[in-house]
Amino acid sequence: MANANNAASHFSLFMPGLYKGHFTAKELKSPSGNKPLTKFTVAEFVESNFLYDFVGGLLNIETYNKTTVGNGIVALLPSVNSDKTTIGRILLDLNKKVKINGEEKSFKDLTEDELYEVTRTELYTAYKKNFDKVRNDFSKLG
């Protein structure tokens, strides 16, 4: 069990089951077919990651084989890609539910305002816990 006093312990990102794993790829999908990463333009790279890995992950796919995106499982690029020949991506399950305004709702069903509220609440809680720890440490100094 996570340490409840840890400032980041409540972040949704650390929710069990949200993180589905990671993978690397040497080629990506494009409207003209798959091709090596080194042959992609910046525009194609952004389009591929957004269209196929994120939006594609939100679509319901009957033949989903649990090793790719689809049915709420999306892939995100966790870092900057420059001239690498392989790209690491993380898989997230946006079907996981978060509590918002007293009810549970899956990440993929959150409105823009609700997503901002979840982010605001989690960051507020993290900063408050850190501030309280520092204030408590200073009070012990005398």
**Residue 20, class by beta-carbon neighbours within 10 Å (0-12 exposed, 13-18 middle, 19+ buried)?**
middle
- pLDDT per residue of the chain (142 residues) written in tens, 0 to 9: 456 667 667 777 777 888 888 877 777 777 777 887 777 777 887 788 788 888 888 887 766 555 577 888 888 877 666 666 677 788 889 999 988 888 999 999 999 999 899 889 888 988 888 899 899 999 998 7
Say whether both 64 and 85 belong to one domain: yes
Rounded alpha-carbon distances, angstroms, from residue 4 to 19, 116, 128 = 20, 23, 13
Domain extent, residue 116, equals 98-141
Say whether both 90 and 67 belong to one domain: yes
Say whether both 126 and 59 belong to one domain: no
Residue type, position 4, single letter: A
Say whether both 115 and 91 belong to one domain: no
- Asked whether residue 5 is assigned to any structural domain, the reply reads no
Say whether both 19 and 74 belong to one domain: yes
Say whether both 88 and 103 belong to one domain: no
Give the number of domains in the chain: 2
